[in-house]
Amino acid sequence: MVQAWYMDEEKTDQRLEHHRNPPEYLTLEDLFKKTGVEYFKLNVDTYTTDGVLDKLKKERGYSYEDEMVCSKECLPNYEEKIKSFFTEHLHTDEEIRFILDGSGYFDVRDGSDQWIRIAVSAGDMIVIPSGIYHRFTLDTKNYIKAKRFFIGEPVWLPYNRPADDMECRKEYVDKLEKGF
Ligand code: KMT
Ligand code: NI
């Protein structure tokens, strides 16, 4: 089940939960209002035939998809990739992930530059808007399997912060100010 919370400031192991004391959870509605991050619940046992994912793909024009596994055994250049996933960055396009197995954390910045941690596991699909500063880490189980989607030819390039002059960043900040 997806959960989202504001992070503490501790610089200890990125794979830990990093709750504030006391914990400060957000609802998915709050998460959307504060960041524009969208969430969909899918059924990992039936998604190939139940039509829910197909409908989403059609509506949103997701023309590309692949699968990735993040684990020491399966991800080439594991240490390097894990480091770059966790370096704060943005993309010119949405980051769309549907978790098939395992778990991990997507961290996104809210409008006040606070980190919000989104814990994802099997059945969770999230859409991280273009232009938002974010990062990803595995949790202590060190394993996640996810589908990636893209509109058109995929571009996975991260632009590390600061990237405030980029058009997609300006557009995102504009939406943040006007409200999602
Ligand atoms: C990314 O771009 O950060 C990733 O693809 C991380 C793994 S997907 C769950
Ligand atoms: Ni990213």
Q: What is the pLDDT of residues 87-132, one digit of tens each?
A: 999 999 999 999 999 999 999 999 999 999 999 999 999 999 999 9
For the chain, which residues make up each domain, given as ranges?
Answer: 3-178
Q: What is the pLDDT of residues 64-80, one digit of tens each?
A: 999 999 999 999 999 99
Is the CB of residue 109 below 6 angstroms from any atom belonging to ligand 1? Answer: no
Is the sign of the CA dihedral 69, 73, 77, 82 positive or negative?
positive
Residue 19 marked in a binding site: no
11 CA distance to ligand 1 middle (Å): 21
pLDDT in tens, 1-42: 799 999 999 999 999 999 999 999 999 999 999 999 999 999
Alpha-carbon distance of 102 to 121, in angstroms, equals 6
* Closest ligand 1 atom to Cα of 85: 3
Atom of ligand 1 nearest to the CA of 104: 9
Q: Which atom of ligand 1 is nearest to the CA of 99?
A: 9
Question: How far is ligand 1, taken at its centre, from the CA of residue 86, in Å?
Answer: 10
Q: CA-CA distance, 48 to 88, in Å (whole number)?
A: 33
Q: How far apart are CA 19 and CA 4, in angstroms?
A: 10
The 10s digit of each residue's pLDDT in 128-163 is: 999 999 999 999 999 999 999 999 999 999 999 999
Q: Mean pLDDT, the chain, as a whole number?
A: 97
The pairing of beta strand 95-109 with beta strand 134-138: antiparallel
Determine whether the annotation assigns residue 18 to a binding site: no
The per-residue DSSP string of 49-77 comes to TSSHHHHHHHHHT--EEEEEEESTTTSTT
Which residue has the least CA distance to atom 1 on ligand 1? 85
- Listed residue (124, 90, 123) closest to 107, CA to CA: 90
116 Cβ contact list (under 8 Å, min separation 6): 4, 5, 6, 7, 26, 31, 34, 35, 107, 108, 109, 110
Domain 3-178 class, CATH top level: mainly beta
For residue 158, give both structure tokens: 């991260």
